[in-house]
Amino acid sequence: MTPLMGFTLVQLRYFLVTAECGSMTEASGELHIAQSAVSTAVNNLERDLHVQLFLRRRGRGLTLTPAGERLRQHARELLARASEVEREARGDGGTISGPVTVGCFVTLAPYYLPPLFSQCTDRYPGIEINVVEGETDQLVQALGAGRIDFALTYDIGLSAELNLRSETIAPAPAYVIVPAGHPLAGQGTVELAELSAEPLVLLDLPHSRDYFRSLVAATGVAPDVRYRTRSYETVRSLVARGLGYSVLNQRPATSQTYGGGEIAELELRDGSPPLKVKLASLADMTQTTRARAVMDLLREIAARPARA
């Protein structure tokens, strides 16, 4: 006979909300129940599992213990599975619905999220996509904390500390942008050595900055970084103003910039390996049906021919 579990899904839900809020008071407000009910559920869960889930420090809120961190990941997955079982039991298992939280690298968001939302609305109207935008380190941290189902990101900076499963869905070769009136603008291709004496406008994001600098440094000349910005479009606008050149990976559909100027794109002849756009998730996490559906949509979007 299968032994009965000593805890309930309600306890797991209250625990998960408390972990996200970092406070039982805030969790009770989020759940619209009395704080005593949250406290009792969490205390009973700790008793049933024979572990301490939170460190309780007066005036400093709640901090998850290592056991609590592990349970948060499993509880999130278990509750998602329970929702699927409920839908199957009601006979609406053919309808994919529910929330999916996607982590997205900031510079990939404008290219992948609009078609993702559009296609998901058409194909799976019951799926609610939530997005956490960030840089690689932030997305890896969100994966480890169980705040996102999976991440859409580049292959640079992926942590070796977490047991991650990653899949390449598209290449993202580097290319150069120069002002539309630049002497090299009409060439179509360029070697970075031809621009090494000119100022570089650097997309100043963690890991990305090192990648771009390394491409220029490979010519044998240290890059003259004159301007830095964390904004992709600001990089393009500065270049359009004639303030330097830059190296980027994703290609907007227009050569016009927010500032009103225009840039020209040049293919690189240096043979630099492209970055890889990846779907990354925890290796030991089984994705829900709806998360797998969203991942399939991203694969379809990535498989479309790149803009010429």
Amino acid 222: pLDDT: 85
Amino acid 113: pLDDT: 97
Q: Which residue type does 28 have?
A: S
Cβ atoms 302, 167 nearer than 8 A: no
Q: First CA to last CA across the chain, in angstroms?
A: 63
Amino acid 58: pLDDT: 75
Count of C-beta atoms within a 10 Å radius of residue 96: 22
The closest alpha carbon to 13, from 145, 37, 108, 142, belongs to 37
- Domain coordinates in residue numbering, the chain: 1-93, 96-171+276-303, 174-273
Convert the pLDDT of each residue in 98-156 to its tens digit.
889 999 999 999 999 999 999 999 999 999 999 999 999 999 988 888 889 999 999 98
| Domains 1-93 and 96-171+276-303 in one fold | no
Provide the pairing of β-strand 150-154 with 98-105: parallel
In the chain, which stretches have pLDDT less than 70? 1-5, 86-94, 159-161, 306-308
Rounded Cα distance, 120 and 141, in Å:
26
Amino acid 1: pLDDT: 43
Rounded Cα distance, 180 and 195, in Å:
15
What CATH number should be reported for the domain whose range is 96-171+276-303? 3.40.190.10
Rounded Cα distance, 163 and 283, in Å:
6
The reply to whether the predicted model has a pTM over 0.85 is: no
Task: Catalogue the E-assigned strands of 95-174.
Answer: 98-105, 127-134, 150-154, 164-172
CATH class of 174-273: alpha beta
Amino acid 289: pLDDT: 87
Please give the DSSP secondary-structure letter assigned to residue 262. Answer: B
Please tell me the chain's helix, strand, coil percentages from 3-state DSSP, rounded to the nearest 5: 40, 25, 35
The closest alpha carbon to 150, from 258, 76, 90, 88, belongs to 76
Taking CA atoms, 203 is separated from 156, 207, 224, 241, 243, in Å, by 15, 10, 13, 16, 14
Token representation of residue 258: 């927010």
Q: Which CATH number fits domain 1-93: 1.40.20.10, 1.10.10.10, 3.20.20.70, 2.60.40.420?
A: 1.10.10.10
